Amino acid sequence: MTDISGLLFFLRDPCLFIDRKKGRDTLTDMVKVFIIGAGDGGEAVLSRLLQFNWFEIVGVADLNPDAPAIHLARAANVPVFLEDPLCLLQKMSIDLVFDLTRNPVIGHQLIQISENNFDVATGEVAHVLWDMIRELEDREARIKQRLGENQVLLEVSMILSRSETPDEIFQAIVAGAMRITGMPAGSLSVYNKHNHELFLVATKGLSSDFYKNGAYPVRPGGLTEHILSNKDPILIPDLADFPAFDNPVILKEGIRSLIALPLISDKGPIGILYNDDFQPRRFQPTLTESLKMLSTQAVIAIQKQQAFEQIKDLSIRDPLTGLYNRRYLNKVLASEMGRAQRLNRALSLVLFDIDKFKRINDTYGHAMGDQVLQALAECFELIIRPYDVLSRFGGEEFLILMSETDEAKAISSAERLRTAAAALDLLPDGDRVTCSFGVCTLERIEKKTITPKEFIQCADHALYRAKNGGRNRVCIYEN
């Protein structure tokens, strides 16, 4: 067997083949290979070499015309030689000969004629070369996989940069993860550290029942807490190997394999990105790094959106109570009035203030007054409906916009708020805080056209009646 160091160098770096036989370095695109012995071994070698564009098979030789590699060579348009090839080899330009005959005589002759002409691979050398070829195949596959993943990451990054709403961002993150992993389903949950809960914000490829589980607690010592406390993705190829994993929602969906990607910022966890498949999977080695990069992109996108929402929220919220401010209320009121008038829907306003609030400030101080405002705001938010708009309208005045609400329902709501306020223990000496309420519905107003300002003035007239009537009561607007 001759020296094959040039080939070994080539296999490590296919872009450069060192032709040591000729005593110089030669750049070449192809390695010219001749195969002697077309049995099962020859067929295996040939089938492998045909997969590479940097091997040129210049011939396959065997005395048996029905040898497996002879048929494969003819199908691949590779030259076939049904004769003793030793004489041919001395005339051909060849870099490497595979001797797969296991014939010591042929092996000895090849070594004699190969000097300064070509390398010979036989026996254990062939196995070494195959190991290197397999390694190159794996490396090429990993490179292709990584390039594909990086392309997806770039596209996801561009989509996230163009997304304007939380829903667009959440959906882009889920879709991007599914493309990288090749898995048919996914979901994203955002973590609320104050309540220790995860809120499902986006799903794809899962049933509508899955979305019904919109919020779920993070139990100490549970799987979710374990995921959030890790920085690395958790990959489960087959849930059947984990009998202790008995999440009924996951099992009902028929999920068999999953990836849980914790989204961690410098301030702590902000969510979990899941990818799911309905059958067991094998995960590529490059996947973990790509998922980490996606995690970074997702965290940045979510944080930017949260920061934007906070800034937007500051512009429409009262800084003391956290309720909507007057500017936001005026904007929503105009829209709701137009809708109610256009569709002939009920619309009500409840305007109320704290009775003798100046005396509270004068007696207990403005800090106590602020605490009263905050406590009432928190209490009222728990009582009103989620789609009612509660705003701080003035110093101690509040206004509630109640869509799809007639006069009777508005009065009932106001009474609940009045009773709740009087029941609160807010002042040091046990003195009670009461509120007066004015209720006005759009249908009560006789004018055919009315502005938002006039609508509020009507509610203010009703509140004035409650004040003059002795306070701590609910009055309706009367024309």
Distances in Å between the Cα of 67 and the Cα atoms of 55, 58, 83, 463 are 22, 18, 13, 103
SS (H, E, C) 184-202: CEEEEEEEECCCCEEEEEE
HSE (CB half, 13 Å, CA atoms) of 333? Answer: 25
Listed in sequence order, the residues at least 6 apart from 444 whose beta carbon sits closer than 8 Å to its beta carbon are 407, 458, 476, 477, 478, 479
Of 109, 66, 67, nearest in space to 86 by CA:
109
- Residue 381 · residue 321 · CB < 8 Å: no
Task: Tell me the CA distances in angstroms from 313 to 29, 160, 255, 328, one per residue in order.
Answer: 63, 21, 38, 10
End-to-end, the C-alpha distance of the chain in Å comes to 112
**Distant-in-sequence, close-in-space partners of 149: CB < 8 Å, separation ≥ 6:** 180, 286, 287, 290
| CA-closest candidate to residue 3, choices 101, 109, 96, 127 | 96
Please identify every residue annotated as catalytic.
396
Q: Tell me the residue type at 362.
A: D
Tokens 């667009």, residue located: 168
- Give the CA angle between residues 7, 12, 15 to the nearest 5°: 85
